[in-house]
Chain A
Amino acid sequence: KQEVTQIPAALSVPEGENLVLNCSFTDSAIYNLQWFRQDPGKGLTSLLLIQSSQREQTSGRLNASLDKSSGRSTLYIAASQPGDSATYLCAVDGSGNTPLVFGKGTRLSVIA
């Protein structure tokens, strides 16, 4: 059974700092991995999707990497801003039509 772990559970950084969020998964046979953002009281918003054949994806100040063999992904946020404060979740897709398995998220606070 696929298990997804995100460490740390919470992180607080000063504005302007570059930071890395970590995601690990137990079964490397994945189709893709997605990173999401969740603001309080809201649903999740997809940030980046990395196919299993890819090593990384970039969107603006966000860069996500994938190392299938080691069961790890990282989300790099450059020049963090208070507006980046949210919970970030990763999820893996294990096979064609089975649903994603989610980590419990990292709650990020960027202090002005």
Chain B
Amino acid sequence: IAGITQAPTSQILAAGRRMTLRCTQDMRHNAMYWYRQDLGLGLRLIHYSNTAGTTGKGEVPDGYSVSRANTDDFPLTLASAVPSQTSVYFCASRRNYNSPLHFGNGTRLTVT
């Protein structure tokens, strides 16, 4: 089934540890996005990529990095996790700006 796969589904992480959240899509979409969703704050954009080889900063990029080596994969790395990064992380993609946005099922991350 075509779509977006995120891994892991959930993770408990000690503060200070490094963590990479994985995101893979098989729809050959050009643009990919990472959002975090927090109660009361809604969805906030962390980083995005309009096409392979390019990335951009969103609303809350500090403490996170991304890469887009190919069309399908868009990993999100937390270099040194802090408790404020406890959240649900969603990866999304779309073919172009006039196409519907598709979401993965999310990664629930707890930083202790």
Contact = CB atoms under 8 A, between A and B. Distances in A.
Interface of A: 31-32, 34, 36, 41-46, 49, 51, 89, 91, 93, 95-97, 99-100, 102-105
26 contacts: A31-B97, A32-B97, A32-B98, A34-B100, A36-B103, A42-B105, A43-B4, A43-B92, A43-B104, A43-B105, A43-B106, A44-B92, A45-B103, A46-B101, A46-B102, A49-B99, A49-B100, A91-B101, A95-B97, A96-B97, A97-B50, A102-B43, A103-B42, A104-B40, A104-B41, A104-B42
Nearest to B41: A104
Classify chain B: how many residues form its interface, as a range: 20 to 34
Contact of B100 (A43, A46, A89, A104): A46
Contact of A99 (B58, B103, B105, B106): B58
Interface in B26-61: 31, 33, 40-43, 45, 48, 50, 58
Contacts of B90: 43-44
Which of A32, A44, A45 has most B Cβ within 10 Å? A44
Nearest to B104: A43
Contacts of B101: 34, 36, 44, 46, 91, 100
A99 B93 CA distance: 10
Contact of A42 (B4, B31, B106): B106
A103 B33 CA distance: 17
Contacts of A91: 101
